[in-house]
């Protein structure tokens, strides 16, 4: 029962964060309030996007946010399971390592999705928009994709 309660709490927190991202994007900024997404924040007006580019970026962002919510929820659940396994003296070392590999796999999927997001946005931008976007990320100390 405790596991179910914790899982529900994690899912609610993730969805509340995605609502905040949606609300901010309605004000004209592509802003994703998630640590893996913050590096991708940029202002539409600064890039002088066409209506078609804006619509494409919003479509990509929405699909990406949905995937990230699912993956981060799955990751949070696996991390809870990992902590429970580690704290149980009857758990085998192999079970702990197997759960660690599952976490590692999900982290890899998240990184691959982040890279895919960058590539998709890059396809939409003109060379000059891409330069401005990258420059704005450099000035804020952010990089398109941060590898751990």
**Where do the domains of the chain lie?**
2-139
Q: What is the pTM of this model?
A: 0.64
At residue 42, φ and ψ (nearest 5 deg) are -155, 160
Entry field: residues in the chain: 148
pLDDT at 136: 75
DSSP state of 50: -
| The CA-based dihedral angle spanning residues 136, 142, 147, 148, taken in that order and rounded to the nearest 10 degrees | 180
Domain 2-139 of CATH type 1.20.120.1490: yes
pLDDT at 106: 97
Tell me the CB-side half-sphere exposure of residue 21, using CA atoms within 13 A.
27
Question: Kind and range of the H or E element at 145?
Answer: none
Would you give per-residue pLDDT tens digits along the chain (148 residues)? 455 445 444 444 444 444 433 333 333 333 334 444 444 455 556 788 999 999 999 999 999 999 999 999 999 999 999 999 999 999 999 999 999 999 999 999 999 999 999 899 999 999 999 988 888 766 655 555 444 3
pLDDT at 114: 93
Contacts of 57 (CB under 8 A, 6+ apart): 30, 44, 49, 121, 124
């Amino acid at each position: 029962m405790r596991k179910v309660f914790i899982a529900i709490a994690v899912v609610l927190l993730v969805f509340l964060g995605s609502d905040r991202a949606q609300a901010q994007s309605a004000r004209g900024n592509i802003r994703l309030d998630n640590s893996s997404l913050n590096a991708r924040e940029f202002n539409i007006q600064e890039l002088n996007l066409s209506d078609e580019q804006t619509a494409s970026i919003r479509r990509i962002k929405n699909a990406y946010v949905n995937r990230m919510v699912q993956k981060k929820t799955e990751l949070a659940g696996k991390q809870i399971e990992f902590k429970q396994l580690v704290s149980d003296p009857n758990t085998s070392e192999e079970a702990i390592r197997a759960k660690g590999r599952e976490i590692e796999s999900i982290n890899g999927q998240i990184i691959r999705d982040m890279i895919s997001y960058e590539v998709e946005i890059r396809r939409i931008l003109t060379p000059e928009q891409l330069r401005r976007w990258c420059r704005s990320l450099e000035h804020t100390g952010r990089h398109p994709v941060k590898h751990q």
